[in-house]
Every structure is written in C-alpha cells, then in structure tokens.
C-alpha cells in the first residue's frame, strides 16, 4: 500500500503542464480529484472530500480515474458537467452493489452524496457483505461498525440552508449525556454531616482570629 499526498496547489491554463500534478495559479486543487463544486469555485465541506475519495476508490477498482485529460481546464469541465463513466463498463466483474456506493459518492450535487465519511464507509461495507462473489477473506476482517462505534463520537452533520439557496453542512460535537448518580440515604446523611462539619470549623477559626485581634488591641492600650 502506498500513502500519497495529493497536495494543495493552484491551477493555471498552461498547456505544457499535465493534469496529473497540481499546477500553479487560480483554482486550488488537483484537477483529477476535484469535486464539481470545487471546480466551480463554490462552498466546500466534507462532501467535497467524499467525492475526491470516491475518485480514488474508482481509480483503485479500474486502474484509471473517471476523467483524464492533459488540459486542467477540460478536466475541471468534465468533473463539473459530464456524467461519471460506469464502473461496470470498465470492470464488468464488479458487483453492482459496490458500483452503486461508489457512484453515490460521485454524485454531481453534494446534496446527493453521503453526509459523512462514516456513512460512506458503512455503505461500502454493506455492499461488500451482501455480495457472495467477493472474497471470503474480506468478510473475515473486523466489523467496521464495531470499530467506528468503539472510537470517540464522530461529528454530527447539521445541514443549514443559506438565503441564496446553497445548502451548507456543518459538523458539530455531539452532546454527551451523563447518567444521573443515585445516592443512598446513608451517603446523603454523610454529606450533610461533612457540610456542617466544615461550617463549624470555619466559625471556630473566625472566632479565634477575632479574639486574637481583641487581645492585641487591649495590650496596646
């Protein structure tokens, strides 16, 4: 497995620069993996990352990204306007259930994509598990839901509608509710005793300080 950094860069329209790498100037991103909204300069959120992840999975399954061209501008136009080529057309042996999940991540509209990477991962796992033709070695891997649920709570997607009609998704920390602590009668009595104990000690301390001050004043006079 290779871990690659696709980088953050800008796009210019210099035809001498190939679309495989991030050129310089104007639009931020790597053209082969940019979402339609990123190509159009619109608001970006995690659903743009899900689109890019879908491109990577598409490339892993077929050997090629859905769109290729030497011109960055043509690539951006393809991502923004052209339908994604069918996965099964490039790899007929691929289960239809897996194709549906990947194509779900590659929807042109971010409103139609999974709301979170967790949702996308679970969809993909379900698609793999429901197809008997997939290698049994995959089914013996740890259950994804148990792994995700055992980790710290993920951010909750909250869809907010702007006045211009553009839907924005924000992710917030979930509120963690703590169960109420039940105290026995004995514990309540003990707490009350400790409470009054501190009050008595405080009163005695203040009284001693007052007496010391009075004695000092009397000795001076």
For 155-185, write each residue's pLDDT tens digit: 555 655 554 555 555 556 556 555 565 556 6
For residue 167, what are its two tokens?
């839907």
Question: Looking at the DSSP assignment, which residues form a beta bridge with residue 158?
Answer: 170
Residue range 85-107: average pLDDT?
Answer: 92
Q: Band of the pLDDT at 65, cuts 50, 70, 90?
A: very high
| Residue 1 burial by Cβ neighbours in a 10 Å radius (0-12, 13-18, 19+) | exposed
Instruction: Report domain extents, the chain.
Output: 10-172, 178-221
Quick one: the chain helix, strand, coil %, rounded to 5?
50, 5, 45
Q: Band of the pLDDT at 36, cuts 50, 70, 90?
A: very high
pLDDT digits (tens, 9 = 90+) for 137-148: 544 455 555 655
Which pLDDT does position 179 carry in this prediction? 58
Residue range 28-41: average pLDDT?
Answer: 85
Considering the segment(s) 10-172 as one domain, its CATH architecture is Orthogonal Bundle (1.10)
Specify whether the CB–CB gap between 44 and 27 falls below 8 A: no
The residues, ordered by sequence, that sit 6+ positions from 205 with a Cβ below 8 Å of its Cβ are none
Residue with more model confidence, 44 or 151: 44
CA–CA dist 76, 67 (Å, integer)? 9
Positive/negative CA dihedral, 7, 10, 16, 18? positive
- Write down the pTM of the prediction: 0.56
């Amino acid at each position: 497995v290779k871990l690659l950094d696709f980088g953050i860069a800008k796009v210019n329209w210099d035809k001498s620069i190939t679309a495989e790498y991030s050129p310089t100037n104007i639009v931020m991103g790597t053209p082969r993996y940019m979402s339609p909204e990123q190509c159009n300069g619109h608001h970006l959120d995690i659903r743009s990352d899900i689109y890019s992840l879908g491109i990577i999975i598409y490339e892993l399954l077929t050997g090629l990204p859905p769109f290729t061209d030497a011109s960055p501008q043509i690539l951006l136009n393809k991502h923004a306007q052209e339908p994604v080529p069918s996965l099964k057309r490039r790899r007929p042996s691929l289960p239809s259930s897996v194709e549906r999940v990947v194509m779900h991540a590659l929807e042109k509209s971010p409103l139609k994509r999974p709301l979170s990477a967790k949702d996308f991962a679970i969809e993909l796992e379900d698609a793999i598990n429901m197809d008997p033709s997939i290698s049994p070695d995959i089914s013996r891997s740890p259950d994804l839901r148990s792994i995700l649920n055992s980790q710290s709570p993920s951010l909750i997607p909250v869809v907010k509608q702007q006045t211009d009609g553009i839907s924005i998704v924000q992710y917030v920390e979930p509120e963690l509710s703590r169960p109420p602590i039940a105290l026995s009668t004995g514990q309540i009595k003990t707490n009350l005793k400790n409470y009054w104990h501190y009050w008595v000690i405080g009163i005695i301390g203040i009284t001693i300080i007052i007496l010391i001050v009075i004695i000092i004043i009397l000795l001076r006079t």
